[in-house]
Amino acid sequence: MTTLPELYAARVADGSLTRDPAQQAVLPEFERIRAALAEPVKKGLFRKAPEPPKGLYIWGGVGRGKSMLMDLFVESLNAPARRVHFHAFMQEIHTAIHKARQDGVEDAIKPVAKSVSDSVRLLAFDEMQITDITDAMIVGRLFEKLFAAGVVVVTTSNRVPDDLYKDGLNRQIFLPFIDMLKTRMVVHELASATDYRQDRLAGAQVYFTPNDAAAKNEINRIWQELTGGEQHSLTLHVKGREIELPRFHNGVARAKFYDLCGRMLGPADYLALADAVRVLIVEDIPRLSRSNFNEAKRFVTLIDALYEAKVRLIVSAAAEPEMLYVEGTGTFEFERTASRLREMQAEGWGDA
């Protein structure tokens, strides 16, 4: 059986990975879990099931290789496992709980957790982050039941556990979940000095105009480079509303301008979006004027949220930033947005 350090070394040797001391430092934690799950589960009337290994919570800056290491780990497993983005998983859980309640189940979390624990021995989450109170109110009981059933959890996050649901409504109810994570999982910071995702965009054009076939081809190329062509939809739940990102993979999202600005979304929605993605591709930004004033206002709010969260932005647009909004109410206010769009194109922007 190939160990994780051996598998990593092989990928370095064949040139598909670059050796990184911070990544190598976390490999023993992955290997500890892989080896424990590789042991056959011997069941018997008088035989007690072995204690499952502690899980792993890896946190650190974007682009440090957390998702890549998770890919390598899941590939090496010889046990029922599921790799899923945390937001997508919680979306499924909410749907299942709703159905259980419709069926008259009093404690809806119980059968939902059992369904998950019956199907896997390990859950591998990408980007655990909690911004919605509906998630915050159920994760404690859900994970308590998953851990009790012997499910091992490995997750990546951009935040240390203590910063999950930071400043959230009724956060004191959520705090026992943080304690549970720190008890049932090893918390490890991936403190690599290199941002590999930024490296892939280093020196690359990220603002394309005019919005023509050549722009679309270039954006398709960047999307392929960042995601390997893998994608699924992701729905964020914010105060009872849904924001759908039609194309998403490992923190990289792709959407049309009207997907994000053609609907009645507000600051809370765009803050949740900025919190959920690290790179956002927005296509088909039109010229803005009094005829689409509401869309323009939403676009300004979106850019503000992305700018403050240091989300890397890639766009195709009908004009350069300074020429996107040249007539109608709000042209003066748009100057700041144009300036931010220009700044966000700079190489190295978002590193800090």
Q: Residue 316: is its pLDDT beyond 80?
A: yes
DSSP string, 231-263: -EEEEEEETTEEEEEEEEETTEEEEEHHHHHSS
Q: 319 and 283, same structural domain?
A: yes
* Residue 194: band (very low, low, confident or very high) from pLDDT cuts 50, 70, 90: low
51-55, 127-131, 300-304: segment of lowest average pLDDT: 127-131
Q: CATH no. for residue 158?
A: 3.40.50.300
Among 62, 64, 72, 63, which Cα is nearest to 33's?
Answer: 72
- The verdict on residue 298 lying in a domain is yes
Do the beta carbons of residue 154 and residue 32 sit within 8 Å? no
Q: CATH no. for residue 210?
A: 3.40.50
- The verdict on residue 31 lying in a domain is yes
SS3 91: helix
Per DSSP bridges, beta strands 252-256 and 241-249 are: antiparallel
Q: What is the rounded distance in angstroms from the CA atom of residue 336 to the CA atom of residue 301?
A: 11
Q: Quick: pLDDT tens for 67-81.
A: 889 989 998 998 999
Q: 120 and 220, same structural domain?
A: no
Do the beta carbons of residue 73 and residue 12 sit within 8 Å? no
Q: What is the rounded distance in angstroms from the CA atom of residue 277 to the CA atom of residue 236?
A: 11
Range of the domain at 258: 197-343
Q: 185 and 201, same structural domain?
A: no
**In angstroms, what CA-CA distances link 238 with 223, 243, 257, 291?**
26, 8, 19, 28
Q: What is the rounded distance in angstroms from the CA atom of residue 207 to the CA atom of residue 299?
A: 16
Q: Quick: pLDDT tens for 149-162.
A: 999 999 998 889 99
Do the beta carbons of residue 56 and residue 28 sit within 8 Å? no
Percent of the chain with pLDDT over 70: 91
**Predicted local confidence at residue 250, as pLDDT:** 76
**Predicted local confidence at residue 201, as pLDDT:** 59
152-156, 207-211, 238-242: segment of lowest average pLDDT: 238-242
Q: 325 and 250, same structural domain?
A: yes
Please give the structure tokens belonging to residue 291: 């005829």
SS3 74: helix
- The verdict on residue 37 lying in a domain is yes
Q: 178 and 50, same structural domain?
A: yes
Q: 282 and 231, same structural domain?
A: yes
Q: Residue 289: is its pLDDT beyond 90?
A: no
* Residue 200: band (very low, low, confident or very high) from pLDDT cuts 50, 70, 90: low
DSSP string, 195-236: -HHHHHHTT---EE-S-SHHHHHHHHHHHHHHHTT--EEEEE
In the chain, how many domains are there? 2
- The verdict on residue 153 lying in a domain is yes
Q: 224 and 179, same structural domain?
A: no
Per DSSP bridges, beta strands 152-157 and 122-126 are: parallel
Q: Residue 227: is its pLDDT beyond 80?
A: yes
- Domain stop point among 189, 210, 235: 189
Segment 318-324 shows an average pLDDT of 92
- Domain stop point among 138, 159, 189: 189
What values do phi and psi take at 122, rounded to 5?
A: -140, 135
Do the beta carbons of residue 297 and residue 260 sit within 8 Å? no
Do the beta carbons of residue 253 and residue 219 sit within 8 Å? no
**Predicted local confidence at residue 42, as pLDDT:** 66
Q: Residue 318: is its pLDDT beyond 90?
A: yes
Q: 49 and 161, same structural domain?
A: yes
**In angstroms, what CA-CA distances link 223 with 202, 248, 276, 298, 339?**
15, 10, 17, 24, 25
Q: 151 and 222, same structural domain?
A: no
**Predicted local confidence at residue 330, as pLDDT:** 67
Segment 222-246 shows an average pLDDT of 82
- The verdict on residue 349 lying in a domain is no
Q: 18 and 157, same structural domain?
A: yes
Q: Quick: pLDDT tens for 245-288.
A: 889 887 889 999 999 999 999 888 898 888 888 899 999 999 98
38-42, 125-129, 164-168, 319-323: segment of lowest average pLDDT: 38-42
**Predicted local confidence at residue 168, as pLDDT:** 81
Q: 248 and 280, same structural domain?
A: yes
- The verdict on residue 350 lying in a domain is no
Q: 243 and 278, same structural domain?
A: yes
**Predicted local confidence at residue 350, as pLDDT:** 65
Q: What is the rounded distance in angstroms from the CA atom of residue 175 to the CA atom of residue 277?
A: 24
Q: Quick: pLDDT tens for 20-66.
A: 999 999 999 999 999 999 887 666 555 566 789 999 999 987 667 88
- Domain stop point among 127, 155, 189: 189
- The verdict on residue 324 lying in a domain is yes
Among 273, 212, 264, which Cα is nearest to 238's?
Answer: 273
Q: Residue 1: is its pLDDT beyond 70?
A: no
- The verdict on residue 352 lying in a domain is no
Question: Does the global pTM surpass 0.75?
Answer: no
178-187, 196-205, 237-246, 332-341: segment of lowest average pLDDT: 196-205
DSSP 48: P
